Amino acid sequence: MAKGLGHAGAELIVNNYSTDMLQEAKQEYESEGLKVHTYVFDVTNDEDVKKHIDLIEKEVGPIDILINNAGIIKRVPMEDMESDDYRAVIDVNLVGPFIVSKYVGRKMIARKAGKIININSMMSELGRNTVSAYAASKGGLKMLTKNMATEWAKHNIQTNGIGPGYFATSQTAPIRVNGHPFNDFIIQRTPAARWGNPEDLAGTAVFLASSASDFVNGQIIYVDGGILATIGKPANEE
């Protein structure tokens, strides 16, 4: 999504809690000729977020587009999950977008313009074993997205979400091999009969960040190869 926006002309600001990860991302984006700035702060900390949003607007300029993409998952059966682990997932995935959007949103309200994109999930709509906290957080984020649109549309701020399906990333590489049960499940369950590629998210992000979506508000666009469109036998099976 960052590369898609960057190649469309955006000046990128990337946040993480890890300086090393930020430096790696900065080098990758700059190798493609993109202009990028990096800031280390904790999206779950009000004071830290406010300070850095003010700093970004002072050092770089107005934040026109906000993508809330920070997220964690803890795969534990619900009956075995510790309350602290549950709260940690909710804190990052649901409270974090609220905090960051609040401080960026105040500045967008003053300017009467802004685009906010929350990264949802198919778990915004469906449950799955061992992801109770994650599903709760992403279901909550769907409704936060709708409520942000309800409150801020009058200020010419469009708040929407992207719900990715299953994507080919470094994290999924170990299971994306022929014969692996989960790989076979995804291929068979997805009407497109493949995993998503990261670049498949770029167009949706650019659309929601551009004037092409000025009358689109409170929507979640699922980029999932059709998984949520079907029940039972997928379209790619005979």
Residue 30 host element (H or E): helix 19-31
Walking along the chain (238 residues) 10 residues at a time, the average pLDDT comes out as 98 96 96 98 98 98 98 96 98 98 98 98 95 98 98 98 94 90 92 95 98 98 96 63
- Residue pair 41/19 in contact (Cβ under 8 Å)? The answer is no
pLDDT at 171: 79
pTM of the model: 0.95
CA dihedral 150→154→159→160, nearest 10 degrees, is 70
Note the pLDDT of residue 236.
56
Q: What's the pLDDT score for residue 170?
A: 85
Catalytic residue flag (residue 39): no
- CA-to-CA separations, 57 to 108, 109, 159, in angstroms, rounded: 11, 14, 20
End-to-end CA distance of the chain: 34
- Candidates 86, 103, 134, 222; catalytic one: 134
For residues 76 and 128, is the Cβ–Cβ distance under 8 A?
A: no
DSSP 155-223: GTEEEEEEEE-SB--TTTGGG-STT-HHHHHHHHHSTT-SPBPGGGGHHHHHHHHSGGGTT--S-EEEE
